[in-house]
């Protein structure tokens, strides 16, 4: 991770979306999550999102009908399409990982564009501002900053009350988990290794949301001491860490985890006990920054400590969460735990 992004991570922990109500009838002023001051319309009716977490946040806020352009990934996202089929017909503006199409963003005449701080997001937001388009930058790498993100988007769109329902439901699920894992002694907490979308020996550092998700689930991220974005490690480091559980990102599109079947890994606790799991679900993954990460914490805690969640109707909790945020149950949206 570049030094500038590290500074942003630190700054965003203190960042709460701010609105200047005195900005006048033509617009309002908000402060985004990297400290930029942005003048936004009184009510932004034409939104553009540039990466999937932002699109999921907009949909969780019930603002998906305001989208006029969307990142390429979200046009194919089963959850968002099930909530609003019209999303599949929106113009694509590229995506954070492979590059955004600046001209495509301008062509849909947005009132508000939402970008991510990593890579060139801040530079593009500034360019859009030079062209008269309000653009905010978000950085949801902690649960609190995810809540701040929901509030910032809702405020910038001119619909501030939209955020509180989604935040309250996320907090409810996280609190439910906390009540059940709080009493676990430090010496008995599961040691978890998270395998990122980049491959089996790429893992989450202490700077990323996945680290906090593991901690909130009552477990310990063996890669917590690492810093930056996803970090490559050696097979020897993996063996030395000797995790109790291996988690694979739901974004894995390869079979690199089969390397763990090789003899040198047989003594690793997670491998020996066959405790290698993939984050659900089939319609939208729960292991990256979006409101769905609250469900990721619930699922992970139940996976680490099944005896503490044996009385909980997990399916009912998942359905309740989706109903609160998306107006439909997980099952009715086509969801399955895979």
Average pLDDT for 107-127: 93
Residue 33 has pLDDT above 80, yes or no: yes
For residue 12, the model assigns a pLDDT of 45
Residue 281 has pLDDT above 70, yes or no: yes
User: Where is pLDDT greater, at 134 or 16?
Assistant: 134
0.85 exceeded by pTM: yes
Burial 3-29 (b: 16+ CB within 10 A, else e): eebeebbeebeebebebeeeeeeebbe
Residue 7 has pLDDT above 80, yes or no: no
Residue 20 binned pLDDT confidence (cut-offs 50, 70, 90): very low
Domains of the chain, first to last: 3-160 (3.40.50.1980), 170-326 (3.40.50.1980)
pLDDT tens-place string over residues 132-156: 999 999 999 899 999 999 999 999 9
For residue 99, the model assigns a pLDDT of 83
């Amino acid at each position: 991770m570049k030094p500038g992004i590290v500074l942003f991570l630190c700054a965003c922990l203190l960042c709460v979306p701010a609105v200047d109500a005195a900005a006048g009838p033509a617009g309002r002023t908000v402060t985004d999550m990297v400290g930029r001051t942005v003048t936004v319309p009184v009510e932004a009716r034409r939104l553009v999102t540039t990466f999937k977490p932002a699109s999921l946040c907009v949909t969780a806020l019930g603002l998906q009908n305001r989208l006029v352009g969307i990142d390429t990934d979200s046009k194919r996202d089963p959850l968002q399409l099930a909530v609003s089929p019209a999303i599949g017909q929106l113009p694509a503006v590229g995506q954070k990982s492979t590059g955004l199409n600046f001209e495509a963003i301008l062509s849909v005449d947005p009132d508000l564009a939402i970008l991510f701080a990593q890579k060139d997001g801040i530079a593009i937001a500034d360019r859009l501002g030079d062209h008269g388009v309000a653009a905010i930058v978000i950085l949801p790498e902690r649960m609190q900053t995810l809540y701040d993100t929901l509030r910032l988007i809702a405020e910038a769109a001119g619909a501030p009350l939209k955020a509180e329902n989604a935040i309250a439901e996320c907090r409810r699920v996280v609190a439910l988990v906390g009540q059940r894992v709080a009493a676990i002694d430090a010496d008995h907490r599961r040691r978890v290794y998270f395998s990122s979308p980049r491959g089996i020996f790429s893992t989450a550092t202490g700077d990323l949301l996945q680290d906090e998700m593991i901690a909130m689930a009552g477990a310990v991220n063996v890669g917590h001491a690492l810093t930056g974005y996803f970090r490559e490690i050696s097979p020897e480091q993996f063996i030395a860490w000797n995790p109790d559980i291996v988690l694979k990102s739901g974004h894995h599109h390869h079979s690199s985890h089969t390397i763990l079947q090789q003899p040198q890994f047989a003594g690793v606790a997670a491998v020996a006990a066959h405790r290698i799991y993939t984050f659900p679900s089939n319609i939208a993954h729960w292991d990256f920054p979006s409101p769905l990460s609250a469900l990721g914490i619930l699922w992970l805690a139940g996976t680490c400590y099944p005896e503490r969640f044996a009385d909980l109707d997990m399916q009912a909790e998942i359905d309740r969460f989706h109903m609160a945020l998306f107006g439909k149950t997980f099952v009715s949206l086509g969801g399955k735990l895979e």
